Structure 1
Amino acid sequence: MKYKIFIAVLSLFSVINISAQENQTESTKTESDNKLYVKGNALLIPIGVINAGLEYQLSNKFTLQGDVLISPWKSFAGHEAQIYMGTIEGRYYFKEAFKGWHVGANVSIGAYILQKPTYWSDDIYYDPITLQPTQYLESQLYQKGYSILFGVEGGYQFRLAENWNMDIFVGIGSSQDFYKGYVRGTEERYDEAAGYNRSGEIIPYRGGVMISYRLK
């Protein structure tokens, strides 16, 4: 009887061990089959802005993308335009990873020295608190600070050639900005705030045409 019990336990242990090995092999195989693409935004290259990253397959329909955007321009068409941003984005593909339509959610953190488009004119700058005109023109002023952005995206990715894809996408979200305002040339503060000003707005802050190359 004890012998039969020993054989039964040994057999059960063997089955569990074999099953575990099979699951481990399948898991290893699945991970090794997950695709990885390096990608760059061809739409921004002509204006000297770098937007590049990696997209990794998590499962059959889900991917995780990390990318950076670097705009090194101290002056672009007469306006400050330095932006350094990093983004993490999760994507869902309706067909399968890296093929067809996709939607996603992302979070970005960025630092910038730029002149907002609302300051591009040569109009007199009015103090937003007193509503009185100041000695400055709007075109003399720029902003320096950082932003935290949360948003969604949608797009379409398709195959160009073996190992090459094209990804057309656009994103929109909430931008929470913390900044200080300065006068170009003197670098003095034009605003009354002792610390950072804060603003929030809904803006389109992602988009382009990514060219992707499969690394694995």
Structure 2
Amino acid sequence: MKIRKIFRTGCLLCILITGISPLRAQTELKFNAASALLLMPNVGIEVPISQRFSFQMDLSGSFWDSFDGKPLQFTQAFGEVRYYGKDGIKGFFFGGNVGFGMFTLTKYGYDEDVYQSGRNYYIGASIGYKKRLSDRWALELFLGGGTSQATYRAYSQETRMRIDIPLDEERNYNKSGEWIPYRGGLMIVYRLL
């Protein structure tokens, strides 16, 4: 329930930003076609800061279990500053990003009966290419990754009881960190004029 509320709040924030008239003329709305095929919506908004710099905010999520019945629910929100090699916010770009997320999923390599639930944050970078198709439309191919730091608890899917610590231990959360690719896809871009 909290995941959906945060996702809706982020979408509302994006709508409010696009309503500010000086920014609306240059603002781009984005939808990730690649993640949509996996039933994991990813939407974004990009606002130019100068001829070659922009700020992007994007949200993604999965609100249901995976195809094999294991939990696969998450939300992610990212802010990113980008630098483009060409004026007009087009062509090759790279950027630095920070993000946060919440998840309930089965981590790779764990038993089918175990799932993890927790929070994480990301710090990393992205590279990509944006191709203008017209004044309003563009395609953007991108890939991003970096460090993901998580705090979580592990539970039995059958009993819903915590199973990651001995009963006599008082540890609130497990912690893990890894370097991983965590963003990517093909964005369909629409510029508001």
Alpha-carbon offset, residue 161 of structure 1: 3.0
1:35 equivalent in alignment to 2:26: yes
1:181 equivalent in alignment to 2:172: no
Alpha-carbon offset, residue 139 of structure 1: 1.2
CA change 1:97–1:79 in 2 (3 A) is: farther
Name the structure where helix makes up a greater proportion of residues.
1
Identity %: 39
The match for 1:73 among 64, 73, 81 is 64
Q: Letter of the aligned partner of 1:84 in structure 2?
A: T
> For residue 139 of structure 1, what is the aligned residue in structure 2?
112
Task: Give the number of aligned pairs.
Answer: 168
1:103 equivalent in alignment to 2:94: yes
The match for 1:116 among 107, 115, 119 is 107
RMSD over aligned Cα atoms = 1.5
CA distance in structure 2 between the aligned counterparts of 1:32 and 1:148, rounded to whole angstroms: 28
CA distance in structure 2 between the aligned counterparts of 1:32 and 1:66, rounded to whole angstroms: 14
CA change 1:80–1:97 in 2 (3 A) is: farther
> For residue 93 of structure 1, what is the aligned residue in structure 2?
84
Map 1:1-216 → 2, pairs under 5 A:
35-119=26-110, 138-192=111-165, 194-216=171-193
SS at match of 2:109: helix
Which has the higher relative contact order, 1 or 2, with Cα contacts under 8 A spaced 6 or more apart? 2
TM-score normalised by the chain length of structure 1: 0.74
Stretches of structure 2 that go unaligned for 5 or more consecutive residues are 1-21
Which has the higher Rg, Structure 1 or Structure 2?
1
CA distance in structure 2 between the aligned counterparts of 1:55 and 1:159, rounded to whole angstroms: 14
TM-score normalised by the chain length of structure 2: 0.83
CA distance in structure 2 between the aligned counterparts of 1:207 and 1:68, rounded to whole angstroms: 12
SS at match of 2:86: coil
CA distance in structure 2 between the aligned counterparts of 1:174 and 1:107, rounded to whole angstroms: 10
CA distance in structure 1 between the aligned counterparts of 2:178 and 2:23, rounded to whole angstroms: 42
Q: Letter of the aligned partner of 2:90 in structure 1?
A: K
CA change 1:95–1:34 in 2 (3 A) is: farther
Whether contact under 8 Å (2:51, 2:89) holds in the other structure is no
